[in-house]
Amino acid sequence: MADDDHKVIVLGTVHSLFVMRVRVALSEKGVDYDFREEVLTNRSPLLLQSNPIHKKIPVLIHNGKPVCESLIIVEYIDEVWKDKSPLLPSDPYQRAHARFWADLIDKKVYLSGRKLYAEKGEEYEAGKKEFMEALKLFETELGDKPYFGGDHFGFVDVALVPYYCWFETYETFGNLSIEEHCPNLVAWGKRCMEKESVAKSLADPKKVYEIMSSKMKLLRV
Ligand code: GS8
Model confidence over 10-67: pLDDT tens digits? 999 999 999 999 999 999 999 999 999 999 999 999 999 999 999 999 999 999 999 9
3 has pLDDT over 90: no
| CA of 160 relative to ligand 1 center, distance in Å | 15
- Contact criterion met (CB below 8 Å) for 48 and 55: yes
Q: Please report, in angstroms and rounded to a whole number, the separation of the first and last CA atoms in the chain.
A: 49
In ligand 1, which atom is closest to the CA atom of 71?
7
155 φ/ψ sector (left φ>0, alpha ψ -120 to 50, else beta)? alpha
Q: Ligand 1 centroid to 21 CA: how many Å?
A: 12
pLDDT at 119: 86
Interval between CA 44 and ligand 1 midpoint (Å): 15
120-153: b (≥16 Cβ within 10 Å) or e? eeeebeebbebbbebbeebbebbeeeebbbeeeb
Give span(s): CATH 1.20.1050.10, the chain.
Answer: 92-219
Please, where in the chain does CATH 3.40.30.10 lie? 2-80
**CATH fold group of domain 92-219:** Glutathione S-transferase Yfyf (Class Pi); Chain A, domain 2 (1.20.1050)
Q: How much is the average pLDDT of 159-170? A: 98
pLDDT above 60 (res 5) = no
What is the model's pTM? 0.96
pLDDT of 200 reads 98
SS3 10: strand
The closest alpha carbon to 55, from 63, 65, 66, belongs to 66
Give the C-alpha separation, 152 to 162, whole Å. Answer: 17
Cα–ligand 1 centroid distance for 18 (angstroms): 7
Nearest atom in ligand 1 to 57's CA? 16
CB of 50 closer than 6 angstroms to any ligand 1 atom: no
Indicate the fold that domain 2-80 takes in CATH.
Glutaredoxin (3.40.30)
Phi, psi (deg, nearest 5) at residue 52: -70, -20
